[in-house]
Amino acid sequence: MDEQIEDLQIAGMHCAGCADELEQAVSRLHGVTEAKANFAASTLRVRYHASKIDRARLIEHVERLGYTTRRAHEETSTPKSLWKRRDVLFTGISGLLLALGLALSTLGSNPTLGVLWGRNLTLATLLYLGSVFFGAYHFARRGWQALKTFSFGISALMTLAIIGAIILGEYIEAASLAFLFALAELLEEFSVERARRSLRALMKLAPSEARVRRHGQELWVSIDQIEIGETLIVKPGERIALDGIVLSGSSSVNQAPITGESLPVEKRPGDAVFAGTINHEGYLEIKVTKRAKDTKLAKIIHLVEEAEAQRAPVEKFVDRFAKYYTPSVVAVAAGVAILPPFLWGWPFSEWFLRALTLLVIACPCALLISTPVSIISAITSAARNGVLIKGGVYLEELGQVRAIVLDKTGTLTTGELTVTDVIAFDGSSPEEVLRIAAALESKSQHPIAQAIVRYYEKNALGQALPEAQDFISLTGQGVQARIEGQLYRVGKLELFPQALPSEAVRLASQAKTVIGVGTPERLLGLIAIADRIRPEAQETVSALKRLGLDVIMITGDNEETAQAVAQQLGIARYHAGVLPEEKASEIQRLLRHYGRVAMVGDGVNDAPALAAATVGIAMGTIGADAALETAHVALMSDDLSKLPYLIELSRRTRRVIQQNIVFSIVTKLSLGLGVFPGYVTLVLAVLVGDMGASLAVTGNALRLAHIKPLRD
């Protein structure tokens, strides 16, 4: 097979209409099997047979349509200056020639140079035609290609209007149309680039080079040439170039570019670090675990690009609407040009000019750009804040969910057991109770045992544990061993002869697991263990309620534990004792009741439930590739406070899209009605109906980038 795929970065793709025109023009080439233009990322993916068309001819065809190309993600040594770009230069020349022509016409100093098409050719007319040539140079080529296939895209409609104005001898209108539309395209490109810039900023987070130790020397090497297992040297203030594990050194690392966390995270030997994050004050040596193309940052960029390429339902609706809307207006324009002169004998030139004005108004640029720019702005803004949304469809669905289901363990809680209370009886001290428990539990691998040992090591101030001898595991009950000849037990309270202490009842009511410590004859103390509730959980639940959502907790824990956690967080509805395989069924039941439900979990154990929900949201996915791949939405850090931000962002995105669509349609309709009595001219149609409307909807969409998470 000689089939190849070429990914090209396209400059000059101003709106979704341009993307469609380019896609169709390239698809018709002999040898091309598929062409897919991504307006959001400004790229074109072409699948073609190398034996029938080569890359050079492919690029030549694209550039003949008025675009400039380079390989996608290809680094340019120096970005081309704005004033050296041909489209900017030509637009400037067009505006200058139009201004000179208007000056000559106004001052009356307009000598006749000859005869053109039966009309006097004046110097001003020549300047206007020159303005048309330079202004329409880029878009007219695209328009002509579209007209040859009877495709009435934006460029085609503008090209028709300019040709018609020249035929009528309306040279000022033709020149104004060419210049203003070329200027509008540049302004649209500038506005859309602001939305795309966030994604490009993500791409630039990882350095292109890194300091590596090779053969005992420190060398600067391109990140593409660094292999897994090599050692990176990262000094204070430098960015980490690749994912890896800290070998030596300690420092705080700013992970905000990946997770959106506002505070730096302490890193020590054995900790994972990620490309694009910033080393603060320490010296780090890092063992590389991922190649440049496989880093977490690379995955994020890839997922964001894919997300922006996916079309939301409302975007598909707009595209379908535009397909019927544009031909309908073209048909109406044809009727306006033909019927009044034919039926009532009204001046043909006047009504033909009005028909051309309708054609200009018909350009659905603002309508087509209204949704994708909003989606781009929202998705890239979310990515900068550590939230990955897999596509416009999920962004739109999130704005309509009526309930949000939160898994308890690992979501509302940290998922890590910790000692919360140490209580001593009968003259014993809490320190002695903890010392005995840790000595016995150091022989066990049970999660509760490990939690007690961790707590002792953290609070014992370097005191060594006594040796536990004759260790025995009491299956399902606890452990037993001798310390300095005395037999001790640690485990369930049933191991001890005393009646249940009131403190044990109180601690159990707080969703804590109570462990007894003592001898076979008497209870020396209690240790309470709990899965700690996240600090931001209560604030997040309150914020979600204020947004009008029903908050539901789901857990495999028993009724007492679930009730205690729910009460602490102010959650009225919860489902306890739900097995992992039953969670998906529970989500299905809630979907029947609410219609749309979001589910928040750890992304691995909760995978079936996340998939069953309208939108599945995985937490803490910075270290879990599987969760990053499977969730609809991924919170890179273990920060629940991003949930209200996510809901607010999705709702506001829906509102902005609706505002943009309504504004675009009302503007077009109003201008269209104003054409018939002659209130709307060609120039006004471009200024307000095309350029003005496009800039207005783009500006409205860019406001989405200013929404910040709760904690910011």
Based on the residue annotation, tell me whether 407 is a catalytic residue of this protein. yes
Q: Read out DSSP for 323-385? A: HHHHHHHHHHHHHHHHHIIIII---HHHHHHHHHHHHHHH--HHHHHHHHHHHHHHHHHHHHT
Question: How many of the other CB atoms lie within 10 Å of CB of 553?
Answer: 23
Give residue 243's region: left, alpha or beta (phi > 0; psi -120 to 50).
Answer: beta
Q: Is 61 exposed, middle or buried (0-12, 13-18, 19+ CB in 10 A)?
A: middle
Residues 6+ apart with CB under 8 A from 101: 124, 125, 127, 128, 131, 171, 172, 175
Q: How far apart are CA 258 and CA 706, in angstroms?
A: 18
- Tokens found for residue 599: 């589910």
In order, the DSSP letters of 242-281 are: S-EEEEE--EEEE-HHHH--SS-EEE-TT-EE-TT-EE-S
**Residue of 87, 319, 407, 606 marked catalytic:** 407
Q: Which residues of 468-505 are buried (b: 16+ CB within 10 A; e: fewer)?
A: beeeeeeeeebbbbebeeeebbbbebebbeeeebeebe
Amino acid at 451: A
Whole-number Å distance between alpha carbons of 377 and 188: 14
What is the Rg, in whole angstroms, of the alpha carbon atoms belonging to the chain?
34
| Cβ-contact 40, 395 below 8 angstroms | no
Q: Is the dihedral of CA 624, 629, 631, 636 positive or negative?
A: positive
Residue 81 to residue 79: CA distance in whole angstroms: 6
Active site residues: 407
